[in-house]
Amino acid sequence: LQVMLHYFTKTILPYPLSFYYGYKVFKPAKLTDAIPLVSLVLHLLLLLTGIAFIKKNKAVSFSLFIYFVTILPFSNLFISVPGVAADRFLLVPSIGWCILLAQLLFLLWKQNSQAPVSDFSNAPKAFKYVFGAILCFYSVITIARNFNWKDDLTLFRHDIEYVNNSAQAHNLLALHLMQHSEKEPGAAEQTALKQEAMLHFKKALEIYPPFFNVAYDIGRVYISLNMPDSAIIAFKHSLTIDTSFIDAHLNLAGLYFSRGKLNDAIPYYAHLINVLPTEA
C-alpha cells in the first residue's frame, strides 16, 4: 500500500524521481498505520469510481482501469519488485492518467470529449490556458530531468539527496564512485572519489547495519587508501555479520601478516585451512 501510494503520487506529479528507492525509503508498516490506511481508502475510492463510471463516462472508467491493471503487477502484492518501487514502471499507468486528466478538463468546461481535435480552436480561452499550463508544466519537469541523465554519477549524486535514507542507493553510488576512481589518471582524483565513496558506504551501513556487502567493501576501500588499521576494523566488523565469508578471513590474515603480526594472522589462516584444506 505504501508503494501504491508512491506510484499514485508520482503518476500525477513525477517529481522528484530517483534511480533507486528500496529500504529505508519504504519501511515495514502495519495496515493500521497512517500511510497504508490512506492508500487503502484512496485506491478503494478510485476503484469504486471506475466501476460507477462504466455507464456514465466510459473514458473515465477506462482510464482508471488502465491504471489499476498495469500498476498492480509492480505493487509487490504478487512478486517482489527490485528496489521495492521504480519510476520506470509508471510508463503505461501514466497513459490512464493522461486520459483521465483530459476527460476532467473536458468535463470541467463541459466540452464534448468525442468531438474532433479541430474543435479545440473553438474552446474557451480559459480552457486553452489551463491546457497549455498543464502541457508546459509536464514538459518542463520532463526536460529538466533529462539533464540528470548526463552520466551515472550525475544521476546518482543528484538523486541521493532525495533518497538519502536509502541504504542501497548509497551503496550503488559508492560502487560507481569506486569504478570511476579506477579510470582516473591522477592519484589525487582517485583518492577524492574513494573518500566520497567511503562516505556513502558508511551511510548505507548506518541505515542498514546488517548490510554485509557494504561492511566488507568499506574494508576494501581502506586498503586502497592505504589505511590498514581501519581496514582490519572494517573486515572484523563484516565477520560479525557473516562469519563464513572467505575473502574477509583472507584479507585479515594478509593484513596481519604484512604488518608482522603473525600471532594475529594465525587464527584466520587456520580458518582458511579448515574451510578450504586443498586450496589454503
pLDDT in tens, 58-112: 999 999 999 999 999 999 999 999 999 999 999 999 999 999 998 888 888 775 5
pLDDT in tens, 175-229: 999 999 999 999 999 999 999 999 999 999 999 999 999 999 999 999 999 999 9
CA distance 57 to 62: 9
pLDDT in tens, 106-127: 888 775 555 554 567 777 788 8
pLDDT at 202: 98
pLDDT in tens, 5-15: 999 999 999 99
Answer yes or no: are the C-beta atoms of 57 and 208 closer than 8 Å.
no
* Percent of the chain residues past pLDDT 70, beyond the cut: 96
Computed over its alpha carbons, how large is the radius of gyration of the chain?
26
pLDDT at 161: 97
Computed over every residue of the chain, the mean pLDDT equals 94
pTM more than 0.85: yes
